[in-house]
Structure 1
Amino acid sequence: MSEEFYRVLHRRRDVRAEFTGEPIEQDVLTRVLAAAHAAPSVGLTQPWDFVLVRDPETRRAFAEHVHRERETFAATLDGERARTFARIRIEGVREASLGIVVTYDPDRGAPAVLGRHAIADAGLYSVCLAIQNLWLAATAEGLGVGWVSFYREPFLRELLGIPDRVRPVAWLCVGPVRALADTPDLERHGWRHRRPLAEAVHVERFRGSRHDGEPSSGGPSAIG
């Protein structure tokens, strides 16, 4: 059982293309959403909601907005970075059979949210836990998930009728895929590479953060 869990964990990918466009079976979708809804949350507020978006016109409008935001970001890049970014496709909004917009309602359970008085963003972190649950469950079901972040929150609020107090945290493209890549897209295209675990583990005190281009001062022994 534990081996299967870790296999799913490491097989998970952020899918930008490769969706087949086939629909998700309803019982599979229900299991995936139930897994997301089972996530832990600060003060048991469960501050998430899931907006299921299938309408082609809505997805087209969002895809056009994403394209504009992508172009805005591309304009900030130079040289090889710009060429690398141009190779990274973001087609899931149109290709996937379903968009799931995960939202955060800070008023749920307010004003006395147990555990949020000192860390105001604890509710937002709870929503991210639900997203992770959804992602892993979808991977276990053989589905792909892609988190789209090239959007402005006011645009998505208006597009989907989301109240002003509620934050749209993620548009997730979800659906069957031709395959899940062995290597993450951004690593395969040379945008970023995964950090060694030893660089991320600190013992007793934070020992300083390594930035790109700096030599690593840590090693396996740092994990202790």
Structure 2
Amino acid sequence: MGKRTNPIGLRTKYVNMWKTDCLGPSYSRQLRLALFSAVQACLSDLLSAKKISLLWFNAKDRGFTAEMDVFCSELPTIYDRVFIHWRLRVLFKSRLRVRYHSLSQWLVVSNDRKSTVVSALGRYKRFRENRFFFRTAGLLRLGFSALNSELLSRVVRDIMKKHNRHWLVFRFLKNALGLFVESSSSIVGLRLLISGKLNGRPRKKKKEFRFGIMPLQAFSHDIDYSYRVVVTKFGVFGIKLWLFKRRKQRKW
């Protein structure tokens, strides 16, 4: 039996660390990444000054106008929205349209989203009554709907940094990720690997979650990969996440 190869090993120039459709295909990848980092830095600075945390954002180029969705903990005031729009429009070539959403508002808009989040919390009373777990489940639901591995890995990083009882975190991730993968029609499989001194043990160990199908060596499959590092009082943890997305069939 041969050694199992990491899917990133044979995917040079095929897997992007951050996939975004912020600009059209006429722009180069370096320009897209530079614009994305500039927008992220500008948004985080402006919202943090108002004591508002930035959860996630996405932008799409519609030709003459660029539409951007910003998810934050609280909705900014009208004056702050005008000021942020004035600062961001310099970065885009076309007209900019920004829509702000709060996580609670995004969940209330559709009853299906809220019902899946509540069912993802499971039968454990600790998850249902804790506001942090409910918000984390909502962010995971948002990451699955956006098909973004970077958002999912960031949510896992935040929950690992927040809670020191890792067994509780693993139980929550097993319930939430398993349900979201089964309910999503655009995701075929997911693999999550967390390595470090779990539960304060002196030796390093790995915890792996697998849901669905995850191919190893195939260029034709669309796999989004993300890697993050989190520093806690138990040491440094590495988080790797693979997201196997279903390809859309072309209509000739």
TM-score range, shorter chain: under 0.3
Give the structure, 1 or 2, with the largest relative contact order (CA under 8 Å, sep 6 or more). 1
Bigger fraction of residues in strand = 2
